[in-house]
Structure formats: C-alpha cells, structure tokens
C-alpha cells in the first residue's frame, strides 16, 4: 500500500506483446496451482480478512469519524447514516439515483481559501481535475484564476462568464481553432509547448493586432516521486521544452522574436499527487536558474514563474496530504536560492488538492458473491465512472452510507458492472460481513479525475453530479440517459466527400 494511493505497474519487457484483456475472450493456459498455507478459521462460507494476494495488509473501511483525512470537511455519520453538507446521502440516492457524484461546496471553498493564503501571487485552479459551470462560478467567486487545456474547457468557462483575462490555456498540442478561440476571447496567458504552436499563435495574435502574453513550458529534468503516468517534469516527456540541449532557450528566443508575443513567464509542472516537497524545491531552483540565464545571456527577463500544481491528497486512512503552505514554501525557497524573490512572481496550479477530497461517489450494491479467497461486492457503477483504479492502480476506502454495519471484517473487492476483470472500484478492502445487496456504499476522495474521466463504456450513461451545502442539494450536471447516447448514432448516413473537399 503506497502513500500516494497508487502503485506503479511493472514495466513490460521491450517488444513484449500486450496481455489480452479478460473481456476479449482469451484464456491463459492452465498452470499447476501453487500450494498455499492453511487458512485461519473464519465464518463458514465467507472469506476472511487478512493479507491481500500480494501479502500487503487490506485497506481499512473507514468513515469520516475514523478517517477524516479522506472525507469532505462536512462529512458526518449520524445513527449509521452518512451525511455530507448536512444532507443524508440516502436521500440524495432516492432523489437522484446511483451512481452519483456528490461534491461538498464548503470543502472546496475552504481549500480555495487555504491556497489563496499559501504565499503564491496567483493561484490557478486546474480545471482538468473537475469542471462544470457551477464549479467555474465557485472558482470565480473565490478569486482564483482558471487554467484550461482544451477548447471545450475554454468554451465552458467563457459561457459561465469567467473573465478571459484570468484564464491560462494549456496543452501540448493545441488545435489551431483552439488558439484562434483563445486569441479572439482575450485569454490572458497561453502556455506554449512546441515550436509549431509558437508560429501559429504569433500569426493569430498579429492578425488580431494583439500582443499575447505567453509562458514557455520547460522540462526541468526532475523526476517526481509519483506514478509514472503522473510524472511530467523529466527531460524526456511529451510536455514542454527540455532545458537540456538548449531547446528551452531557443523556444524563449523564438517567442521574444515573434513581435506579437510577450515572453511573460516560464511554466514547469513536476507531476501529480506529490507528497514530498523536496522535488518541488529542486524544480523551482532549476527553473529560476534558467530564468537567470535568459536575463544574463539574452536580456530576456520573465516576470512570473508558474510552477504548476500536483499537491497530493489522502486516499486511504492514515495518509497525509501536502498542505498548500508547505507546497508554496518549497517553491519560494527554491526560487530564493537563485533569484531575488521580491522580483519574481509565483503562480501555482492546484487541482486535485482543491476538489479531490470534496467529492464522494455513491453506489448501490447489486450483488455480493464469495470467491475462493475474496468476497466480490458488485456495485452499479465501475470503471466508466471510476477509471483511476484501472489506469493508475489507485486505491480507495469505502463506507456504508445508509445503515450501521456490525459484521466482522471480510476480505472483499468492490467491483463494477462492466465486462472487464479489471473493472475494480476498491481493491482488497476489509468490509463488514453483513454488507448486502441493496446497501448504499460511499467511496471518498473522488472529486478529482472521476467525473471528468467518465466514459460510456458498455453504453453506460454517465452519472449526475450534485453539490451539497447547509442541508441543501443542487444539480451541477444531470445524469445521461440511454436516449442521450442513442441520439449520437447517425444510422449510417452518407458523407458528402465532394462537398467536404470544396
């Protein structure tokens, strides 16, 4: 069990074929069963609680009283019923159905204020973590800036009335129409990530008669202590210009020479779900040293260093989060090692640490089935609404939302309803033996990278999102219906290729 709630997948040998998915109908050849130690006595017909298949301790099932670090700030258990924002979750399930994403507005606002006071000059909410029109309004009212990384996110933010001057546009391969929309809207800062993009953006800004502020994203060559898929600061990643070999230097000079672009800052992002501040300080020091080189060698002085986000949260009982003040202090310290901090503005981009713990996903148990070694608890969602366990091997806890359970702990796996063996919501957790079909189960710390990564796999409609505060609930995103999905089916309509070519 890792402190980040994730475990890196073992690397496959170069050239090795990918293992077939269970749902594809391939079967592994039979192998002799290895002998195993005798099991301790336990209830007849029920798997016992104990080490998981890898020998690690099972995750603990823990509610807000026992593990407040993974639950929203307002979460409480009252007579066995879980409440968030003063609202009983069974009432939400009755009104809105399940699966259901529940977001604690008070939790988000409290963490936004923590970040506003962290010591950074600007705080940008990383909207890729969670985005909808109501969330945009929360960000706006808390005085945060907003970073977006697609035309869709930009459109949603603008439609919700967010000031484009406080928007930062990210992305390693922005489409020309996305750059055009950003320039037309007056987006405050565009983070450039490749030479082609610099040329395209310069031409668009010139045509609009605009001087566009630009941050050049650089790769500082620092590897984060996180899952490999969430590490973005190395010198051989798809994001940014490596400082190594002069690539970042040439990119900044190209921006400075464009005429319609202003090199206003540098951007670097170490990775996501970071819990150790040491790497942040090193990254900040390297970015600051690069800024000093630009000034001394070329007379190019950038006024802001945007050093990204990635502050980690707790996913399992007993884990820690990286506080905003500690995060910002590490960056400030790294900058001060090289530059005068009074002359350098610091921007940060928290996402997960603002919204992650505010979210809870509510499921209904449909079936409970005992396997040879584990109990399988099947819920009415799965990898279509909770992709992180399959993608990052992320681990969570869970808790009964509708009644108090008193049974002994049983080695269980919470699985989804999709046609995949990897469709696991909570792997290897000790759940009470009296958990049964029909019960409501809540999985905490799902505010970030759940709703935004949801899919329609197995033609499953995506869940609704509701916010709760002071005993009231509001619909943020409505539940999809099978009719919504069917409307996208074009039925084989012919495409006019000649018209498209004209």
Residues annotated as catalytic are: 419
Q: Which stretch of DSSP H or E encloses residue 210? A: none
CB 432 within 8 A of CB 61: yes
Report the first-to-last Cα separation within the chain, whole angstroms: 58
Question: How distant, in Å, are the alpha carbons of 29, 187, 327, 378, 430 from that of 317?
Answer: 39, 41, 22, 22, 13
Phi first, then psi, for residue 169 (nearest 5°) are -100, 120
For residue 48, how many C-alpha atoms fall within 13 Å in the half-sphere facing its CB? 9
* Neighbouring-strand partners of residue 100: 362, 464
How many of the other CB atoms lie within 10 Å of CB of 119?
Answer: 15
Q: Which residue has the tokens 């009231």?
A: 472
- How does strand 345-348 pair with strand 359-370? unpaired
Question: How distant, in Å, are the alpha carbons of 30, 69, 238, 363, 495 from that of 315?
Answer: 37, 8, 28, 18, 48
How many of the other CB atoms lie within 10 Å of CB of 301?
Answer: 13
CB 130 within 8 A of CB 359: yes
Residue 97: exposure state from Cβ atoms within 10 A (0-12, 13-18, ≥19): middle
């Amino acid at each position: 069990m890792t402190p980040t709630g994730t475990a890196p997948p073992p690397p496959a040998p170069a050239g090795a074929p990918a293992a077939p998915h269970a749902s594809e109908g391939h079967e592994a050849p039979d192998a002799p069963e290895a002998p195993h130690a005798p099991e301790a006595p336990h209830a007849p017909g029920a798997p016992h609680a104990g080490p998981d298949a890898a020998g690690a301790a099972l995750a603990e099932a823990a509610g807000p009283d026992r593990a407040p670090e993974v639950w929203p700030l307002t979460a409480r258990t009252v007579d066995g019923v879980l409440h968030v924002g003063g609202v009983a979750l069974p009432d939400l399930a009755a009104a809105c159905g399940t699966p259901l994403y529940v977001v604690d507005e008070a939790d988000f606002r409290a963490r936004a204020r923590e970040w506003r006071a962290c010591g950074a000059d600007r705080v940008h909410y990383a909207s890729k973590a969670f985005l909808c029109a109501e969330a945009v309004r929360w960000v706006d009212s808390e005085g945060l800036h907003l970073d977006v990384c697609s035309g869709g996110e930009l459109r949603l933010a603008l439609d919700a009335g967010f000031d484009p001057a406080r928007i930062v546009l990210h992305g390693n391969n922005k489409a020309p129409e996305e750059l055009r929309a950003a320039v037309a809207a007056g987006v405050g800062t565009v983070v450039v990530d490749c030479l082609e993009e610099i040329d395209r953006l310069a031409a668009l800004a010139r045509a609009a008669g605009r001087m566009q502020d630009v941050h050049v994203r650089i790769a500082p060559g620092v590897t984060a202590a996180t899952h490999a898929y969430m590490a973005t600061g190395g010198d051989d990643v798809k994001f940014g210009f490596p400082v190594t070999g002069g690539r970042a230097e040439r990119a900044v000079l190209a921006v400075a020479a464009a005429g319609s672009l202003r090199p206003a800052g540098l951007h670097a992002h170490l990775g996501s779900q970071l819990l150790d501040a040491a790497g942040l300080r090193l990254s900040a020091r390297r970015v600051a040293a690069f800024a000093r080189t630009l000034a001394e060698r070329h007379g190019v002085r950038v006024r802001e260093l945007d050093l990204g986000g990635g502050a980690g949260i707790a996913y399992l009982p007993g884990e820690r989060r990286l506080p905003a003040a500690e995060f910002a202090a590490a960056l400030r310290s790294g900058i001060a090692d090289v530059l005068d901090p009074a002359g350098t503005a610091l921007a940060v981009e928290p996402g997960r640490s603002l919204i992650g713990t505010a979210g809870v996903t509510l499921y209904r148990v449909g079936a409970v089935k005992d396997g040879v070694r584990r109990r399988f608890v099947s819920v009415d969602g799965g990898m279509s609404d909770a992709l992180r366990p399959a993608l990052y091997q992320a681990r969570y806890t869970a808790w009964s939302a509708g009644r108090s359970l008193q049974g002994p702990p049983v080695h269980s796996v919470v699985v989804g309803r999709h046609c995949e063996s990897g469709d696991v919501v909570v792997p290897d957790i000790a759940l009470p033996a009296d958990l049964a079909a029909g019960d409501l189960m809540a999985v905490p710390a799902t505010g970030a990278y759940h709703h935004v990564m949801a899919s329609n796999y197995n033609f499953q409609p995506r869940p609704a999102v509701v916010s709760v505060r002071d005993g009231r609930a509001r619909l943020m995103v409505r539940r999809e219906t099978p009719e919504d999905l069917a409307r996208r089916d074009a039925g084989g309509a012919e495409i006019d290729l000649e018209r498209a070519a004209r």
